[in-house]
């Protein structure tokens, strides 16, 4: 940002009052242009950040749906395996823990569904307005450079004319510089008034964007927290499914039997005779055995012994003593819907106003460029006179 060179302005003669005033005005305007450009660039960066972070929202919605389903599956499986005496109490306790944990997940999923309804419109709005902001930012940067170039050219002309000895040429050059300054100064002042209005609007938009940046950045943390939960639940569900499969396995044990009878014909008569042994088998699923079957004790002992051989490996691999990580980031979903709606409503007006003045920015740039050329001519004439 440029400032007025006090040595130049102090040395300026009364005849250069208009040029000196322009020096002050264009320096002030350049300062505001620099501020507007910086705020516009910051707003563009915020829009890009918001758009990128909101892309995570869909992943979070899917992840919350997955975790909700996983919790439901785990709860159902724990209900199934709770019939096993060795783990019944622990399974029931974990089931209650997961059921309590599932309630805030259900609420968060509902909030996430609401967020998804507004994320797409907001991202679409950002995709429309962000290029406008970037275009204006480039125009402001060009204008700021032009203003600085004009300040330098004006300073050179003032200093050169002030260095001339009193003469009709000095007076003529000074009058020419003042006349040119009087033509361009209203253009500078009018544009600066527009800039101040734009600054107020952009400051408001930037404040809204900054608030939303803080909120949507929490989505990335939330996604990591959800992933940590799934890292605990997935192995548990896999282990519980293995136990569930075993519950449907059939246990078959032999107990007792009776002689097998065959027949042969002797003198035309059908005669029975022993020809082996029929073994009697008792067959039940693991689940049936655990719930109780109506058999005599020796058979029950055989069934239990065979069942233990099947159950023991999967029970040893089952880890019910788990710790679910907390998800402190869930709260952001409750506030995000209203924040997104508010952002969309408040951001478009100032940005559209900024974009609407793009042609004015470009027009001022062109006029300052033309005036700078006029200044250069005055300065060149002054330099020639100074050397003569």
Kindly state the average pLDDT of the residues 42-58: 92
pLDDT value at position 14? 55
Is the pLDDT score of 302 beyond 50? yes
DSSP state of 82: T
Q: Report yes or no: 378 and 209 within 8 Å, Cβ to Cβ.
A: no
Q: Encoding tokens for residue 208?
A: 């809204």
205 C-beta neighbours (distance < 10 Å), count? 26
**pLDDT tens across 332-368, in order?**
888 888 888 888 888 888 888 888 889 999 999 999 9
pLDDT of 267 > 90? The answer is no
**pLDDT tens figures, 165-181:** 999 999 999 999 999 99
Q: What is the mean pLDDT of the chain?
A: 89
- Token readout for 103 is 């309630």
213-236: pLDDT as tens digits: 988 888 888 888 888 888 999 999
Tokens of 73: 């599956």
Question: Mean pLDDT, to the nearest integer, of 369-382?
Answer: 95
Structural tokens at position 112 = 């996430």
Q: Burial of 367 by CB count in 10 Å (0-12 exposed, 13-18 middle, 19+ buried)?
A: middle
The mean per-residue pLDDT over the stretch 282-308 comes to 91
């Amino acid at each position: 940002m440029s400032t007025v060179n006090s040595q130049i302005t102090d040395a300026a003669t009364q005849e250069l009052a208009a040029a000196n005033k322009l020096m002050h005005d264009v320096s002030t305007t350049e300062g505001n242009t620099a501020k507007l450009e910086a705020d516009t660039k910051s707003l563009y960066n915020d829009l890009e950040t918001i758009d990128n972070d909101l892309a995570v929202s869909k992943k979070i919605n899917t992840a919350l749906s997955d975790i909700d389903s996983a919790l439901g599956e785990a709860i159902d499986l724990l209900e199934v395996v709770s019939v096993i005496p060795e783990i019944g109490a622990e399974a029931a306790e974990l089931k209650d823990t997961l059921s309590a944990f599932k309630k805030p997940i259900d609420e968060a999923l509902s909030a996430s569904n609401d967020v998804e309804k507004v994320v797409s419109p907001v991202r679409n709005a950002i995709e429309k307005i962000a290029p406008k902001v970037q275009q204006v930012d480039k125009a402001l940067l060009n204008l700021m450079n032009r203003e600085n170039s004009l300040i330098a050219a004006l300073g050179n002309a003032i200093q050169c004319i002030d260095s001339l000895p009193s003469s009709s040429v000095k007076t003529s050059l000074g009058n020419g510089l003042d006349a040119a300054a009087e033509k361009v100064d209203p253009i500078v002042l009018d544009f600066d008034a527009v800039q101040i209005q734009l600054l107020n609007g952009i400051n408001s938009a930037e404040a809204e964007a900054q608030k939303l940046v803080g909120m949507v950045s929490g989505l990335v943390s939330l996604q990591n927290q959800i992933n940590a939960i799934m890292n605990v639940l997935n192995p548990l569900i896999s282990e519980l499914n293995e136990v569930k499969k075993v519950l449907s396995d059939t246990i078959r044990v032999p107990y007792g039997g009776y002689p097998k009878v065959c027949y042969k014909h002797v003198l035309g008569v059908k005669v029975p005779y022993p020809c082996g042994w029929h073994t009697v088998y008792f067959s039940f699923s693991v689940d049936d055995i655990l719930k109780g079957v109506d058999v005599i004790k020796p058979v029950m002992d055989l069934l239990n012994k065979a069942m233990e051989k099947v159950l023991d490996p999967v029970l040893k691999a089952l880890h019910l003593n788990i710790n679910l990580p907390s998800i402190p980031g869930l709260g952001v979903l409750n506030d995000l819907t209203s924040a997104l709606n508010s952002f969309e409503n408040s951001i478009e007006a100032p940005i559209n106003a900024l974009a609407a003045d793009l042609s004015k920015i470009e027009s001022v740039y062109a006029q300052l460029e033309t005036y700078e050329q006029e200044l250069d001519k005055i300065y060149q004439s002054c330099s020639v006179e100074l050397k003569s």
